[in-house]
Structure 1
Amino acid sequence: MPTSTRRTQQERRDQAEAALLAAAAELVVEQGVRSLTLARVGERAGYSRGIVTHHFGAKQTLVERLARATQAGFVPGLDGVAPGLDRLLRLIDGYLGALSSIGVFNQAFLLLWAEAPTQPELAPIFRERDDAFRADLRDDVEAGIADGTIDPGAAPDDVAVAVVGQLRGIALQRLLDPRSVDTEQLRRGVTGFWRRALSRPAAAG
């Protein structure tokens, strides 16, 4: 088979899978993961249930793929920033700032994360993601302690748990009642709080 034909088939497959995952994300946001079915996903995306089954096989596989697909970072552009207080504060500021225009995949991520404790197919995926998130934050705190910008009394594990809980909690409140959460005001206040809480006295200000 010519390479161009194979590429076209792969492109069509990728396009179909992207459309199905987008449809699944929309349905999770609108109706929750428990109401998700292969038939509904196919109908929303404009494909037959057979196509959905061909791509994912079963609902559990679809949910797992969706959970992984929605885990793209809320805050792009941090890859080139060295670990430390500056990166941690940029992450907090960027995360909260992004909530003002949160897309359907990130909305689905938050809803799936909230349901993970009662969904066996989701729990290990989100434990893994949360472990990675906390590890990045611990790296920032440890690097800041090492370079003298963060108070050596700060506990990296505790800071990581607190930051993840705060960011995700604010995000879920924003989904529930957008008018009650002023993300622009919060990003300044929360970022300032963590700057004051973590900075060494000599580095504060």
Structure 2
Amino acid sequence: MGCELSKFVLNGEDLTAEANDFARHLGLEEVAPGRIARYFLAELYIHTFLTETIDPRRVVKEIASLEGKGLTQTKPAAAFKGPVLKGLWHKHHQQIGVPALAMNVLNEGRQDKWKHIEKHLQSLEGLAITDTQAWDLAGALSEEVVRGGLNRRIERQALTGEWFIFTKYEELNYYLCLGKHEDDDEELRLRAINSINNHFPFLRHLLS
């Protein structure tokens, strides 16, 4: 029923009950009834509790946005380009931790060509400042780079992160698995196919 796991054993430990409680707590079945694969749930559980690289609430929030039940702060969903992943779509979700923060800050700086920082520095040309003022300036610049950059990306709904993978059928989204930028296209396709075969066999023709 829904995305409930019938059996989930990890490292020799039966975690079926824990994983299904996790899904119920997140409201996975409510956000997209009958359209979140068990494979998706298993991966979400693993990356939440084992690798600790995902805040599952952020993933659910992005699914909800695609279902018309909330807003997004990340990039719009997009179809994969190229023949290997044809028929599949991806949507970014915000990751947790310093690497995800750094990726968004650097992306904003590169896109902006650091013009916001340059503007601050140009306003100080020719001014004599004390060491204390220099430290205050460093703090202000850091605030602009990090908080200012993130806020601008949020306003543009341009935050990036890792993905979850889904496909579309009869105007509905079917959520298949998680993914990363560095994942091989063939690997992503295989995981999506496995998810479809095990949960949504009527979607097989979409990836044939």
TM-score range, shorter chain: under 0.3
**Structure in which a larger fraction of residues adopt strand:** 2
**Structure in which a larger fraction of residues adopt helix:** 1
TM-score (norm 2): 0.25
Larger radius of gyration: 2
TM-score (norm 1): 0.26
